[in-house]
Amino acid sequence: MAKVFFSHDQMQERPNSRFPAPDPFQIHYHFVPSRPAFIGVTLDRETGEVNAMAGTLGPLTWGPYTMCLHISLAGSPHTLANLVEGGDCVVALPSRDIVRETWFMALPLPRGISELEVAGLHTFASKWVVPPSVTECPVNFECKVEFLKDYHSHRIIFVRAIGASIDSEVLSMNREEVLRRYPTYEVDDRANKFGGSIERLGVMGEIFECPSFPLAPKAGWYQTFNRWMEDLAEEGYLTSGQVTGIRERLAEYDRLFPQANDPRRKALHGFFTRLSTLIVKERWDDVRAHLQS
Q: How far is the CB of 53 from ligand FMN (least distance, A)?
A: 4
Binding residues with ligand FMN: total (CB under 6 A): 21
DSSP string of 29-85, one letter each residue: GGGS--EEEEEEEEE-TTT--EEEEEEEEEEEETTTTEEEEEEETTT-HHHHHH--T
| 56 vs 194: CA distance, rounded Å | 24
Q: Does 112 bind ligand FMN (CB under 6 A)?
A: no
Q: Does 136 bind ligand FMN (CB under 6 A)?
A: no
Interface pick for ligand FMN out of 25, 41, 67, 70 (rule CB under 6 A): 70
Please name which of 163, 161, 185 lies closest in space to residue 68, comparing C-alpha atoms: 161
Q: How far is the CB of 199 from ligand FMN (least distance, A)?
A: 4
Cis peptide before 183 (omega within 30 of 0): yes
Q: Does 134 bind ligand FMN (CB under 6 A)?
A: no
Which amino acid is present at 63? G
| 111 vs 117: CA distance, rounded Å | 13
Q: Does 199 bind ligand FMN (CB under 6 A)?
A: yes
Cis peptide before 132 (omega within 30 of 0): no
Interacting span for ligand FMN (CB under 6 A) from 23-31, 68-76, 270-278, 284-292: 68-76
Q: Does 202 bind ligand FMN (CB under 6 A)?
A: no
* Interface pattern 145-184 for ligand FMN (x via CB under 6 A): ----------------------------------------
If 0-12 CB within 10 Å is exposed, 13-18 middle and 19+ buried, where does residue 65 land? middle
- Residue 29: CB partners within 8 Å, gap ≥ 6? 187, 188, 189
Q: Does 34 bind ligand FMN (CB under 6 A)?
A: no
Interacting span for ligand FMN (CB under 6 A) from 69-77, 127-135, 188-196, 226-234: 69-77
Interface pick for ligand FMN out of 43, 105, 139, 275 (rule CB under 6 A): 105
Interface pick for ligand FMN out of 27, 41, 43, 54 (rule CB under 6 A): 54
Q: What residue ranges bind ligand FMN (CB under 6 A)?
A: 37, 51, 53-56, 70-72, 75-79, 102-103, 105-106, 108, 186, 199
